[in-house]
Amino acid sequence: MKPTFIHRLINSPFEDPSLFVRILWERRALLFDIGCIDRLEARELQKITDVFVTHTHIDHFIGFDTLLRALPRRKIPLRVYGPSNVADCVEGKLRGYTWNLIKEYPLKIEVFSVKENTIITSSFHAENCFKRIDNSIIHFDGTLLRESLFTVKAIPLDHQIPCLAFSLEEEFHININKTALTEMGLPVGPWLSELKKALRECKSGDTEFMISHKRYTLDELRHVSVITKGQKVSYVTDVSINDENIKKVIELVRNSDTLYCEAYFLEKDRERAIERFHLTAKTAGMIARDAGVKNLVVMHFSPKYKDQSDTPENEALREFKHSTF
Ligand SMILES: [Zn+2]
Ligand SMILES: [Zn+2]
């Protein structure tokens, strides 16, 4: 079974956190945080349609320039989601340059700033020399982006400043039953993507497909698909170590296939973690275990642990695998 989301951290856990998620079957990718992204290839940068920013500390936002530099000729808009000040930060970045020769370019940047139970939308279009236009205010019910293939949810957390955590959830996964295809004498081809799309969009049973010059309805083809549980990937970083945050994070990441979570400090430095508004590795492991996560990937380690034998990763995984029963 091919997963829909192919995900990886761009950097080592001692460097800026940034998660790159390629969406299979769509020439498209999502980015969670935009720290240094210099390791992404040009073709990967071109695929990024949506950037989810936890907060705008420099290690989570400095890569915006790299993306901006790559995209002016792209016709597909770039959407940026983040906490209440994210539009100000995008504006600040754009104001750092001179744009008198940009009017002919197609790039449109749409920004979604989450403030309590609202999302404020702002536009920065190349044709207006990236001048800021604040648009509508919409209700925020926990979902930032809903498409037929997947949903991205966010929760606001405390990191002394507001900080978002995200979950990416595939609605359901569609596999193709090759035996059923063979029995019907149907070839593999692009029509399978169209079939999956029609199933996701709950199109009517008489929707037609042309396969090898023959007409089939959706109802006739339905049984070549096998529906299974969708993938869930969560991303949590820069979170103060307090009960309220931890409770909210466990709810958000529950039953994730993979949780990417910060493990900035070791438990022995818990006091420092509290002072710096970060989690400890042990807490990251506990969150993943209590939320029933399948796979925990820890990231964003303090550089002071670079040459130590007991790494934040060891501590987090020990706690994650430690049964409380
Ligand atoms: Zn950070
Ligand atoms: Zn931070």
The count of residues in the chain is 325
Q: What is the mean pLDDT of residues 86-108?
A: 97
Query: Is 206 inside a domain boundary?
Result: yes
Q: What angle do CA 140, 262, 314 make, to 5 degrees?
A: 150
Are 165 and 178 part of one and the same domain? no
Of all ligands present, the nearest one to the C-alpha of 16 is 1
Over the stretch 170-184, which tens digit does the pLDDT of each residue have? Answer: 988 888 888 988 888
Give distance in angstroms: CA of 163 to centre of ligand 1.
10
Are 69 and 202 part of one and the same domain? no
Query: Is 250 inside a domain boundary?
Result: no
Give distance in angstroms: CA of 71 to centre of ligand 2.
26
Q: Quick one: what percent of the chain has pLDDT higher than 90?
A: 81
**Residue in 8, 5, 13, 14 with CA at minimum distance from that of residue 40:** 8
Q: What is the CATH number for 125?
A: 3.60.15.10
Q: What is the mean pLDDT of residues 194-215?
A: 89
Domain of residue 184 covers 172-229
Query: Is 51 inside a domain boundary?
Result: yes
Are 40 and 179 part of one and the same domain? no
Output the six-digit token pair for 124: 């920065």
Of all ligands present, the nearest one to the C-alpha of 17 is 1
Query: Is 241 inside a domain boundary?
Result: no
Neighbours of 3 (CB within 10 A): 13
> Model-level pTM?
0.92
Are 204 and 97 part of one and the same domain? no
Q: Which of 169, 185, 205 is the last residue of a domain?
A: 169
Neighbours of 135 (CB within 10 A): 11
Are 155 and 224 part of one and the same domain? no
pLDDT recorded at residue 190: 85
Over the stretch 132-149, which tens digit does the pLDDT of each residue have? Answer: 999 989 999 999 999 989
**Residue in 44, 43, 50 with CA at minimum distance from that of residue 10:** 44
**Residue in 303, 242, 235 with CA at minimum distance from that of residue 275:** 242
Least confident stretch, 196-200, 300-304, 314-318: 196-200
Of all ligands present, the nearest one to the C-alpha of 302 is 1
Give distance in angstroms: CA of 156 to centre of ligand 2.
14
Are 60 and 133 part of one and the same domain? yes
- Cβ-contact 68, 51 below 8 angstroms: no
Q: What is the mean pLDDT of residues 219-244?
A: 94
Are 55 and 188 part of one and the same domain? no
pLDDT recorded at residue 325: 54
Q: What is the mean pLDDT of residues 250-273?
A: 97
Are 11 and 151 part of one and the same domain? yes
Domain count, the chain: 2
Are 131 and 10 part of one and the same domain? yes
Query: Is 69 inside a domain boundary?
Result: yes
Least confident stretch, 36-40, 63-67, 83-87, 188-192: 188-192
Residue 93: in which H helix or E strand, if any? helix 86-95
pLDDT recorded at residue 193: 84
Are 74 and 18 part of one and the same domain? yes
Q: Which of 169, 190, 216 is the last residue of a domain?
A: 169
**Residue in 233, 225, 222 with CA at minimum distance from that of residue 261:** 233
Give distance in angstroms: CA of 171 to centre of ligand 1.
30
Q: What is the mean pLDDT of residues 83-99?
A: 97
